[in-house]
Structure 1
């Protein structure tokens, strides 16, 4: 990514760093809606919603699914912090579908949103 405007990204869960590196764009879902971040973005602190994070990194796209957490943007550095997060390729589709059915049968809207986010991540992986 030499010569381009670069973002330095850290995607961190409570138990590990999922992804760290340089990117040209990051997309996340926040409580205020979907957000795309490019180099030069104004400083920002936002609350994450369960959803898919997309990181465009030198021709590669990285997808991850996050639950509740925070996004921090300052000086072309992005920190995405979520207590629970998975790279999309790590998600077991059958387990996520079962989780969604269970959440629907219980009528638990929060668990439904989390399971739907996992399934979106699987589709993108």
Structure 2
């Protein structure tokens, strides 16, 4: 049994197909979604989505948004999304290191918030390509 997954960004449809399982980051933690999941509307955090199709896992970096689960389908509206296959590993590593440095030297509320968001985006891109492994925090 499968469920239909649609991931839509403002400028394109990133994913639209039947999948077996989905794991994604919400504002309240990770959730797993299988066929016949209860209806749900949730805000998404910056993070990754793992998608199982034909027994194989794919990943994508999501830059925040909303997910709606209903009638064996999930629709995700995001600000931005990148499939792992679209991410340049070297560029992702460089962006992550730069974001770490910017976060460490950020001063003032606005600068810290912006640096933290840039760091979360860079971290999500790296997680999507499995370049580094982050422990799951509770």
1:22 and 2:18 correspond: yes
Relative to the length of structure 1, the TM-score reads: 0.89
Aligned with 1:68: secondary structure?
Answer: strand
Relative to the length of structure 2, the TM-score reads: 0.81
CA-to-aligned-CA distance 1:27-49 (integer Å, 9 cap, x gap): 10000100000111111111111
1:112 and 2:108 correspond: no
CA-to-aligned-CA distance 1:44-103 (integer Å, 9 cap, x gap): 111111111111112232211110111110111101111110110110112112211222
Aligned with 2:98: secondary structure?
Answer: helix
Aligned with 1:40: secondary structure?
Answer: coil
Distance, in Å, in 1 between the alignment partners of 2:60 and 2:118 is 17
Please list every run of at least 4 consecutive aligned residues from structure 1 whose deviation after the TM superposition is greater than 4 angstroms.
none
Summarize the alignment of residues 37-52 of structure 1 with structure 2, pairs less than 5 Å apart: 37-52=33-48
Moved more, 19-28 or 55-64: 55-64
Distance, in Å, in 1 between the alignment partners of 2:50 and 2:118 is 21
Larger Rg: 2
Aligned with 1:19: secondary structure?
Answer: strand
Distance, in Å, in 2 between the alignment partners of 1:26 and 1:119 is 19
Distance, in Å, in 1 between the alignment partners of 2:101 and 2:56 is 38
Question: Mind listing any 5+ residue stretches in structure 2 that lack a counterpart?
Answer: 104-114, 132-138
Aligned residues: 120
Aligned with 2:37: secondary structure?
Answer: coil
Question: Mind listing any 5+ residue stretches in structure 1 that lack a counterpart?
Answer: none
Distance, in Å, in 2 between the alignment partners of 1:80 and 1:57 is 17
